[in-house]
Amino acid sequence: PPQVEDLVDIADHAYSHKQVLVMEKTILSTLEWYLTVPTHYVFLARFIKASIADQRTENMVHYLAELGVMHYDTTIMFSPSMVAAAAIYAARSALHQVPIWTDTLKHHTGYSETQLMDCAKLLAFQQWKQQQQQGEGSEGKKGALRKKYSKEERFAVAMIPPAKSLLTGTDSA
């Protein structure tokens, strides 16, 4: 897509940079188009519904997704939809749900089990690392996240160990 400066040049500077942006906003508003930045939250609601998750699983999915977003590696290596789908995969793995990945989940997420594996392994590693740091005085944002998901009303999902199959790299199928 053209940059605003390109449009200003095409119009031979008949409009300023600001005027082009104001008009773009007016057109989008008139068409009732609302632009947002996709985050993992956008995808989680749909994916969780497709997984037919109970509240414990749903809390585990949110915990893993939030944990992933707090790590730079996850956010630059994987798209928000991939993080959301991998959080479901890693949560179902940790909670020993069978099957871990269904045709319904593949359809709704657009990802196969193989495509999710690298991201799911990274989330499981981050979960393991978070548990190893427990009690080391590492509060901050990650400690707050652990505390949030260690509460009974969130089924203490932060205390559940990650799936060994994701940590060791063995095939879970």
Q: What mean pLDDT do residues 144-156 have?
A: 95
Q: How does the average pLDDT of the chain come out, rounded?
A: 92
pLDDT tens per residue, range 4-13: 999 999 999 9
Give me the domain span that covers residue 8.
1-35
Report if residue 31 sits inside a domain.
yes
Number of domains into which the chain is organized: 2
Same domain, residue pair 60 and 18? no
- Asked if the bond preceding 99 is cis, omega within 30° of 0, the reply is yes
Residue 109 pLDDT: 98
Same domain, residue pair 44 and 27? no
Same domain, residue pair 23 and 47? no
Report if residue 173 sits inside a domain.
no
Same domain, residue pair 99 and 142? yes
Q: Are 89 and 113 in contact (CB under 8 A)?
A: yes
Counting residues of the chain whose pLDDT is more than 70, the rounded percentage is 93
Same domain, residue pair 57 and 138? yes
Report if residue 99 sits inside a domain.
yes
Same domain, residue pair 125 and 146? yes
In this prediction, residue 173 has a pLDDT band, given cuts at 50, 70 and 90, of very low
Same domain, residue pair 50 and 101? yes
Report if residue 79 sits inside a domain.
yes
For the stretch 147-156, contacts whose Cβ atoms lie closer than 8 Å and that sit 24 or more positions apart, written own/partner, are: 149/59, 149/62, 149/63, 154/59, 154/63, 155/55, 155/56, 155/59, 155/60
Q: Where are the beta strands (DSSP E) in the chain?
A: none
